[in-house]
Amino acid sequence: MSIPDITDSANYVKSVLKAFAILEQLDSAGEMSIGELSSRLSMNKATVHRLVSTLKHAGYVNQNQDTKKYSNGMKLLTLGNRVAERAGIRRVARPYLEELAKLTGETVNLGIKAGDRIIYIDKIESKSTIKVGLDIGTSIPMHCTGLGKAYLSFMPEEEVEELINNTIFERFTEHSIVDKDTLRTSLLEIRERGYSIDDEEYVIGLICFGAPIFDYHGNPIAAVSVSCPKYRVESKHQKIYADYILGTASKISRQMGYSL
């Protein structure tokens, strides 16, 4: 195991690469001492000790109190599980997204949280001549989208508050929520009924219905939505779309290990 060569050092932090090299070495070799890591990685002992101490403090490395050697911590496993879940969600969700698209005839979206934004990771576009939707890979604020609000509503309260208090609420349309208390009230309503509505909050003329997807712990890991031109959705259709979206989210959640 070695540290990658850096041709453009201005764009990289060498200490971060060294820390990852340590984690990869521990992953392949199990418990190792500072001296063993230093020798294996051709790295100064003082540097190894400083980096390992930092990783230990952050919870990514454990120290055996008997041997004084180091190994990777459970925090890495937790992160790995989350990445695996998110990578797998698109494959698992796809047939259910296709089913939802057939039921509604509208554009169906799948998104995951990234900081204070939601990223669209999959989409099935409506076959209608007039259609709406955002491209896969698009990232937009959570407070003004069906996907984002559905996800946000079921996050732990302290995480929601942290996000709300650290977010600058951008106004995209006259219907965008830009007040913290208004958003809190909206999130409570969404949590009670189980699904979100984005009624022209991000794009004028666009309405979206969203619902969260849960993992086996009952935590939101993604969200699914139906997007369509508002003129195509009469009030009587809203409940139908809501039932469809809740059913789809429930099916995907069960596939991800969630049970009520």
**Which pLDDT score, from 0 to 100, does residue 87 have?**
62
Same domain (yes/no): 67, 96: no
Question: Per the domain annotation, does 137 fall within a domain?
Answer: yes
Q: How many domains does the chain have?
A: 2
- SS3 assignment, position 222: strand
Q: At residue 195, what are phi and psi to the nearest 5 degrees?
A: -140, 160
Element (H, E) at 121: strand 117-124
**Which pLDDT score, from 0 to 100, does residue 216 have?**
85
**Which pLDDT score, from 0 to 100, does residue 126 have?**
85
- Residue after which a domain boundary falls, among 23, 51, 72: 72
Q: Tell me the β-bridge partners of 229.
A: 206
Residues 192-227 as b or e (16 or more Cβ within 10 Å = b) = eebbbbbbbbbbeebbbbbbbbbbeeeebbbbbbbb
**Which pLDDT score, from 0 to 100, does residue 169 have?**
86
Element (H, E) at 27: helix 14-29
Question: Per the domain annotation, does 168 fall within a domain?
Answer: yes
CATH at 96: 3.30.450.40
Burial of 166 (0-12, 13-18, 19+ CB in 10 A): exposed
Same domain (yes/no): 113, 57: no
Question: Per the domain annotation, does 77 fall within a domain?
Answer: no
For residue 23, the enclosing domain spans 9-72
Per-residue pLDDT of the chain (260 residues; tens, 9 = 90+): 455 554 455 567 888 999 999 998 887 777 899 999 999 999 999 999 999 999 999 989 999 988 999 998 877 766 765 665 666 888 999 999 999 999 999 999 999 998 888 989 899 988 876 666 677 888 888 999 999 999 999 999 999 999 898 888 889 999 999 899 999 999 999 999 999 999 999 999 899 999 999 998 899 999 999 998 888 887 767 889 999 999 999 999 999 888 76
In 3D space, the residue among 249, 139, 152 whose CA is nearest the CA of residue 202 turns out to be 139
Same domain (yes/no): 132, 231: yes
Question: Per the domain annotation, does 247 fall within a domain?
Answer: yes
Question: Per the domain annotation, does 23 fall within a domain?
Answer: yes
CB 21 within 8 A of CB 41: yes
Question: Per the domain annotation, does 78 fall within a domain?
Answer: no
- Residue after which a domain boundary falls, among 72, 96, 113: 72
Angle at 7 between CA 6 and CA 8, to 5 degrees: 95
Report the half-sphere exposure of 178 (CA within 13 A, side-chain side).
Answer: 10
Contacts of 105 (CB under 8 A, 6+ apart): 126, 127, 128
Contacts of 243 (CB under 8 A, 6+ apart): none
Same domain (yes/no): 111, 239: yes
- Residue after which a domain boundary falls, among 29, 47, 72: 72
Same domain (yes/no): 62, 113: no
How far apart, in whole angstroms, are the C-alpha atoms of residue 124 and residue 94? 9
How far apart, in whole angstroms, are the C-alpha atoms of residue 69 and residue 34? 7
Question: Per the domain annotation, does 2 fall within a domain?
Answer: no
**Which pLDDT score, from 0 to 100, does residue 6 have?**
47
Q: DSSP letters of 228-244?
A: EEGGG--HHHHHHHHHH
How far apart, in whole angstroms, are the C-alpha atoms of residue 165 and residue 31? 42
Q: What does pTM read for this prediction?
A: 0.67
Same domain (yes/no): 53, 172: no
Same domain (yes/no): 29, 144: no
